[in-house]
Structure 1
Amino acid sequence: MQKVTLDGIKVVDVHAHPFREQREPENPVDFLRKLSLSVIPEMFTNIEDVEKFQPYPGTNMWIQILFRHMAKYLNCEPDLPSIVEARNKKAKNFPDYTKELFADANLEGLIMDFGYPQPPINRDDFQQMSGAQIWEIHRIEPVMVELGKQKLSFEEFIEKYRDNLEKALKRDGVVGLKTIIAYRSGLEISNKDGKAAASAYEEFLLNEKAPAKAMRDYCFHIAMEECTRADKFMHIHTGIGDGEVVLSKASPSFLLDTFRKPEYKETKIHLVHGGYPWMEEAAFIVSILPNVYMDISLQNPFTGHGVERIISQVLELAPFDKVMYGSDAFTVPEMNWLGVKLFKDCFERVLSDWVEKDYMDADQAHYIGEMILYKNFENIYKVKI
């Protein structure tokens, strides 16, 4: 079998979050917590009674794979205390450690959502710490929360909200807006209705996380309009996330009627997380609408060995030139690092299988690998790195 290798190919991660410089050593339990999508502190509490060969309580395949890779990279035993001890020694100079991991993965650029964590991390500071080129998406929900604290009238709120988005899209390095409406009221977006939005505004003022659906849908439409006007991308969280997501309304299929509206025919749309676990629905949408694209983030690396299956399933329908690499890494540089390592490993197996089955030759398979790892980003976002 002729193996396709993706070693040495540069990578752009089109969806990740910044992390803060760590000035103190990690302890094993806190390190585990930082690796989990769970927002419940009790998910990891005690590792002292773990028997030989027993997985640490609460861990899954992605964490298991990370430990294997880290133990090899750090040249230490593959148990959590040894890994964290070796990691702490390397990370005494945290910026150097971050740059080393990014360079080892050929991770040269990232689109980052600075809406998490809060308060926001400075983009220039993170770029200097990581050594990678950073682009930004401007998340709309923190804007809404900050304006809500001012107790404005609904009309004043909307005026300032639109002005904020318009100015943000003009800033250097900002490639679009992002919404996490899937966490608040879901992706079934109603028509733009100012009267209904004004009525729901009071609900939002009482609780910044309240569904306030008509008001959130109204703000979603404004964001779409501003992205259309600025010729920038609208990033939409689709699929699972942390425990707050409105799971019953998180499938990208709920967005299809909105995307079909004539006023959004030219709007550049980026489906963040590719709708996982509804990635086939996202793949279908990008296959029929020329202005919609998707990434494979969160599902990579957090599904572990499932990344291979997911890549194959996404590319059953999605055009090769409309899918981009992503990670959704959010707490430690090891997430960004393993995201690339795991994705390349799984993608190599998918591509090699296609060559073995004579669906394509090895050169074309290698080029498809380059497309998804960085070329599509450059072509879609019209940026060269």
Structure 2
Amino acid sequence: MTIADLATALDELPLIDHHVHGALAAELDRPAMERALTESDRPIPGWMTQFDSQLGVALRRWCAPVLDLPPRVAPEEYLRRRHELGAAEVTRRLLRAAGVAHWLVDTGMGGTELLSPAEMAEISATRADEVVRLESVLEQLGRDDVAAGELPERFAQVLAERSARAVGLKSVVAYRHGFDFDPHRPSRAEVVAAAGRWLRAGGGRVDDPVLLRFLLWSGVDLGLPLQLHAGHGDPDLRLHRCDPLLLTEFVELVEPAPLVLLHCYPFHRNAGHLAQVYPHVFFDVGLAVNHTGARSAAVVAESLELAPFAKVLFSSDACGPAELHHLGAVLWRRGTHRALAEWVQEGVWSEDDAVRIAGMIGAGNARRLYDC
């Protein structure tokens, strides 16, 4: 086997994107596309464009050929061609060209604007399963006229029903509070008191630390892999409170329940430490791969420094334009090839090991973890 064989093996590897959101079904004008290329929720200043970012440049390089355009085409020409083809055709092309065989879709955001798992499967001609977001389940229950005293038992029942066909659970406690929470299971009395405060305030967004702990422990009790956003995200979080090392005591308390740390940048080395020392911890660098663009190869290589390779997963965390779903796969393949090819050329890895381990990270580890 040669380095060229490694490249071919990576290009042909059917990926499992273990954490992704639905693609956007609607047409996008330039302002909407630019907003999709940043985690910021602020207006983009008139003197700049998000196409002048690592993600924006990567989009024009790797997505343009899928739309029958030359690489590195100008943004105006790219958007004109996108409009000519229509959103449905653009989404179909980009999802199918990604080489993802199975999408594990977090359905906790976007509503009907984003494609459902079934719609993702249909348009990409692949498989899709659901990952259920804990906070969304409780927020829906709060709209159903539940009493505080019955909430703990009702939530357990509703969560079991809601996730009966799901492959995993997800929490955004990093956004709602941060990881510096009391890691212990709250008592029923604490949960009922917190539920009373939340419901009297009108329900809605769950950010009470007691209720968030209750959700986490409810997820642990269910036994499905529990995904936790960590690190970089939009301004709704405070980055210094999203270092996964802050979860260490919680990690120990819930062992051996499987925990999956998502994205983790710039704390991906810290996540690698947790994945090495705790058998039930897994991680990825999903969101960072797209946003670091041409530098994503360095991030991918750094994710392979400390953790056993059976603990590392592939994800795109794509949400919205199908360009993000496509780029997540393309940039991960390129970054993985660059890292592994260098080690093979140095004689420290064999070609066979490189292909085998790429297959583990790209699909095999997720297949084992999520039983999919």
Runs of 4 or more above 4 Å deviation: none
The alpha-carbon distance between structure 1 residues 281 and 244, as it changes in their structure 2 partners (threshold 3 A), is same
Matched, 1:9 2:13: yes
Structure 1 residues 213-268: Cα deviation after superposition (integer angstroms, max 9, x where no partner): 122212221221122xxxx211111112211113232111121111212xx32312
Aligned 8 A contact 2:23 2:321 in 1: yes
Counterpart residue number, 1:125 = 119
Matched letter for residue 93 of structure 2: E
Aligned 8 A contact 1:324 1:376 in 2: yes
Matched letter for residue 284 of structure 2: D
Structure 1 residues 48-81: Cα deviation after superposition (integer angstroms, max 9, x where no partner): x8xxxxx736742111111122334432471111
Residues 1-385 of structure 1: matches in 2 within 5 Å? 2=3, 4-5=6-7, 6-22=10-26, 24=27, 26-40=28-42, 42-43=43-44, 46=46, 56=49, 59-73=52-66, 74-76=68-70, 78-91=73-86, 94=88, 96-119=89-112, 121-171=115-165, 174-190=166-182, 191-194=184-187, 195-205=189-199, 206=201, 208-209=204-205, 211-227=207-223, 232-261=224-253, 264-273=254-263, 275-383=264-372
Aligned 8 A contact 1:198 1:215 in 2: no
Q: How many residues align?
A: 361
Matched letter for residue 21 of structure 2: H
Aligned 8 A contact 2:228 2:262 in 1: yes
Q: Distance in 2 between matches of 1:379 and 1:298?
A: 22
Larger mean CA deviation between 208-217 and 334-343 belongs to 208-217
Q: Distance in 1 between matches of 2:371 and 2:169?
A: 17
Q: Secondary structure of the equivalent of 2:63?
A: helix
Q: Distance in 2 between matches of 1:58 and 1:72?
A: 17
Q: Secondary structure of the equivalent of 1:36?
A: coil
Larger mean CA deviation between 197-206 and 126-135 belongs to 197-206
Matched letter for residue 246 of structure 1: R
Aligned 8 A contact 1:203 1:212 in 2: no
Q: Distance in 2 between matches of 1:376 and 1:258?
A: 23
Q: Distance in 1 between matches of 2:120 and 2:345?
A: 42
Q: Which runs of 5+ in 2 are unaligned?
A: none
Aligned-pair CA distance for 1:11: 1.2
Q: TM-score normalized by structure 1?
A: 0.87
Structure 1 residues 157-183: Cα deviation after superposition (integer angstroms, max 9, x where no partner): 112111111112322xx1121111111
Q: Distance in 2 between matches of 1:223 and 1:12?
A: 22
Q: CA RMSD in A?
A: 2.2
Q: Secondary structure of the equivalent of 2:313?
A: strand
Structure 1 residues 118-170: Cα deviation after superposition (integer angstroms, max 9, x where no partner): 25754323321232210111111111112223453322111211111111232
The alpha-carbon distance between structure 1 residues 36 and 197, as it changes in their structure 2 partners (threshold 3 A), is same
Aligned 8 A contact 1:140 1:177 in 2: yes
Larger mean CA deviation between 132-141 and 66-75 belongs to 66-75
Q: TM-score normalized by structure 2?
A: 0.89
Q: Distance in 2 between matches of 1:10 and 1:217?
A: 36
Aligned 8 A contact 1:293 1:322 in 2: yes
Aligned-pair CA distance for 1:196: 3.4
Q: Distance in 1 between matches of 2:337 and 2:50?
A: 31
Aligned-pair CA distance for 1:300: 1.6
Aligned 8 A contact 1:114 1:121 in 2: no
Matched letter for residue 38 of structure 1: S
Aligned 8 A contact 2:152 2:191 in 1: no
Q: Secondary structure of the equivalent of 2:150?
A: helix
The alpha-carbon distance between structure 1 residues 104 and 129, as it changes in their structure 2 partners (threshold 3 A), is closer
Q: Which runs of 5+ in 1 are unaligned?
A: 50-54
